[in-house]
Amino acid sequence: MSGQLGRIGQLGPLEQQLLARQLDEQTAAVFEADRTLRVLDVGLGRGVQALRLARAGHRVTGLESDPDLRDLVEKELADEPEEIRKRVRLVPGGSQDTGAHFLPGTFDVVLCHGELIQARDPGTTLAGLARVLDGGGLLSLLIRNDDALAMHPGRTGDWDAAQAALDFPERAGRAFRLETFTRGLAGIGTPLRQWYGVGIFGHDRLPEEDDEAERMLALEERAARTDPYRSVAAMLHVCGVRGG
């Protein structure tokens, strides 16, 4: 299952753009227009969403345990105008370290786009993410969809991976399913607001032609919110609001 586990950390351009559109939709629905948001990006990775949000005027803190990835983001920041560089702060640490670095209610938006799947105790980590959210704040999670693990390798003819996915044992507390996370979010006072599918049709590259790329994005975006298609996506983008 290592390929599936690593997939979230290596989102393609289409997936990143789709995630950005979904995130913008949720922030627009939850917060008033033109508000400068305090954002925490847990598992910063290459900083795609963090840099995008900083360019939009928000203050972003990136929590990342991998020094090489922090260096990559620092290099990206070096090419940005000073006003954008000032909006970004990088902090060494992993998803389990939010309580050690931040006080309760510090952020308006917390992103965790892949780190939960590697957490030793996802439930405790999830509670820690919600803890640093201010009241009415948005929690954005990207998780593996355990209900569809065999779909994508099976569709591409990777029979060994499909078989391994079907045989993948469900471990107590480690089931990455919408039902599980709906209960978990309610239990930590950050109930589910909306969820989307990501990676429904299995494409991770955008066509070079702008018209074709926009058509593909529009198709993925529509399917991402439509049953039953979103239920068989490779990943789920799950959004909750602190205090409901």
| Short-list 128, 130, 147, CA closest to 138 | 130
| Confidence label for 183 from pLDDT (cuts 50, 70 and 90) | very high
Is the pLDDT assigned to residue 186 strictly greater than 80? yes
Q: What pLDDT is stored for residue 6 in this prediction?
A: 40
Q: What predicted TM-score, i.e. pTM, was given to this entire model? A: 0.91
Determine the Cα–Cα distance for residues 111 and 22; give it in Å rounded to an integer: 12
Determine the Cα–Cα distance for residues 10 and 234; give it in Å rounded to an integer: 13
Determine the Cα–Cα distance for residues 144 and 172; give it in Å rounded to an integer: 16
pLDDT digits (tens, 9 = 90+) for 208-240: 788 888 998 999 999 999 999 999 999 999 999
Phi-psi region of 199 (alpha: psi -120 to 50; beta: other; left: phi over 0): left
pLDDT digits (tens, 9 = 90+) for 74-123: 999 999 999 999 999 999 999 999 999 999 999 999 999 989 988 889 99
Determine the Cα–Cα distance for residues 231 and 198; give it in Å rounded to an integer: 10
| Domains assigned to the chain | 2-241 (3.40.50.150)
Q: State which amino acid sits at residue 238.
A: V
| Confidence label for 170 from pLDDT (cuts 50, 70 and 90) | low
| 3-state SS, residue 75 | helix
| Total residue count of the chain as it appears in this document | 244
Determine the Cα–Cα distance for residues 69 and 90; give it in Å rounded to an integer: 11
Determine the Cα–Cα distance for residues 95 and 97; give it in Å rounded to an integer: 5
Show the tokens assigned to 151: 């779909």
* Residue burial 121-156, b: 16+ Cβ < 10 Å; e: rest: ebeebbbbbbbbbbeebbbbbbbbbbbbbbbbbbee
Is the pLDDT assigned to residue 9 strictly greater than 80? no
Is the pLDDT assigned to residue 168 strictly greater than 80? no
Mean pLDDT of 55-84: 96
| β-pair partners for 92 | 64
Determine the Cα–Cα distance for residues 218 and 214; give it in Å rounded to an integer: 6
Comparing 66-70, 156-160, 195-199, which segment has the lowest mean pLDDT?
Answer: 156-160
| β-pair partners for 88 | 60
